Structure 1
Amino acid sequence: MELLSVKVKKGRLDKAADAFKTYVVLKVQNLKSTTIDRRGSEPCWEQDFMFEICADGKGFIIELWKKGLLWDSILGVLWIPLATVKYATDEGPGSWWTLHSEVIKNGSEIQGTKTPTSHEILLDVYFALPFDTQKDLDCRGWHRGTPLQGARCSRQDTYDSLSTMESGLSIKESELRRNKDQADESNFAKARWARAIQKTLQETMCSRVRFFKTYKTTSGFGFGQADV
């Protein structure tokens, strides 16, 4: 599972949009979320969404809708492949995307969109990572400066980097475990020698008690030879 973060920021619509309200619908696998509606040709939504999705997903849909008196109508649609989504720990400036009017399908499966409209939308899309992991990736040369639209696939490269990190952690963990085992063996040996010495002393004392017996004389206590 992966955590997909989508922030719907702003829109640039044609002048006809000044007269009505618009909102954005996000369809991510079997999940669906909707922004509030805003009026005007430059709506500002500034809303964050988080989706826990399967790692083998192909993409998700963004739709721009116009509110109507009786029913709403769609103004544009966008298909974003997950292969173009970067990894990050925090929000970035986002990228402008051109909305389209048609969806490309292969059977029931959506594969893209076509026929650009005059509407654009500003989105910040990324896979959320823990801070320390992103810091390590930044040290390796990963940055969020490349726009999402038209970007080449980076998920496999990121997986390779994460695998390298996990290998390094595994080696370090093995070294720590080996050092701990050596320390445990040393402590065990010391304890075993202590028990052996204690047992020897106890056996020696018992032998002396068996060899001698204590008896009382007129002058006090003394030791005599044990009966054989």
Structure 2
Amino acid sequence: MELLCIKVKKGRLNEAAGTFHTYVVLKVQNLKSTTIDRKGSQPCWEQDFMFEISADEKGFIIELRKKGLLWDSILGILWIPLANVEHATDEGPGDWWTLHSEVVKTGSEIHGTKTPTSHEILLDVYFALPFDIHEDLDCRGYHRRTPLLGTSHSRQDTLDSLSSVDGGLHMKEDTLRRNKDQADRSNFAKARWARAIQKI
């Protein structure tokens, strides 16, 4: 199990969407979480979410929705592969993601999105490093597993670059993967939640 941290920061929407109240939906495994709704073409949510996920998960869905009188509708959707999510000790500035209007599926399994919209969302997505690794280390750039096929970057390339920061870090990461002590993970999650609450 790993702790996936997602901070939904803000959005850049087209002018037509500026008259609506919008919110973000996160779908991770069988869980669904939502932000509060905000009005305007540059909504600011600044909300933290954490999910304990299994190692075999492939990705998760982000949806931007607008509130309606009778029902809500989707303005844009994004599928983020977990293979490209980095490990970090704390939140960073995040990245702007362009939302799409269509989902790419193989059977019932989602593996991407296509057809860009004019809406963007700022997200900081990372796997929390364990508390036994020094917090001063900047470990962004170390990926969870091999990136998507079609790229020239390999897991070995990632480990080689990581060794320049701390040669033993990937060995500590392997040790963590073998450690299935749920009590320690629960305590770590509670501590991160407390820090997130203090930032509000």
- The answer to whether TM tops 0.5 is yes
1:110-149 correspondence runs (5 A): 110-133=110-133, 135=135, 138=138, 142-143=139-140
User: What RMSD, in angstroms, separates the aligned Cα atoms of the two structures?
Assistant: 3.1
Q: Which has the higher helix share?
A: 1
Does residue 83 of structure 2 align to residue 76 of structure 1?
no
Does residue 171 of structure 2 align to residue 164 of structure 1?
yes
1:12 is matched with which residue? 12
Cα separation, 2, equivalents of 1:13 and 1:166: 39
The alpha carbon displacement at 1:129 in A equals 0.9
Cα separation, 2, equivalents of 1:69 and 1:166: 49
Cα separation, 2, equivalents of 1:25 and 1:54: 20
Segments ≥4 residues shifted beyond 3 Å: 134-138, 150-158, 160-163, 165-168
In structure 1, the gaps of 5 or more residues are: 145-149, 169-228
TM-score by length of 1: 0.63
- Residues 4 and 25 of structure 1: CA distance in aligned 2, closer, same or farther (over 3 Å): same
Q: Is 2:89–2:137's contact at 8 Å kept on the other side of the alignment? A: no
Deviations 1:111-155, CA, capped at 9 Å, x for gaps? 1000000000000000001344255864xxx446xxxxx996769
- Residues 97 and 132 of structure 1: CA distance in aligned 2, closer, same or farther (over 3 Å): same
Cα separation, 2, equivalents of 1:3 and 1:75: 28
Cα separation, 2, equivalents of 1:34 and 1:167: 33
**Structure label with greater radius of gyration:** 1
The alpha carbon displacement at 1:89 in A equals 1.4
Deviations 1:36-79, CA, capped at 9 Å, x for gaps? 00000000000000000001110000000000001111000000
Instruction: Report % sequence identity.
Output: 74
Cα separation, 1, equivalents of 2:137 and 2:127: 13
Cα separation, 2, equivalents of 1:151 and 1:41: 37
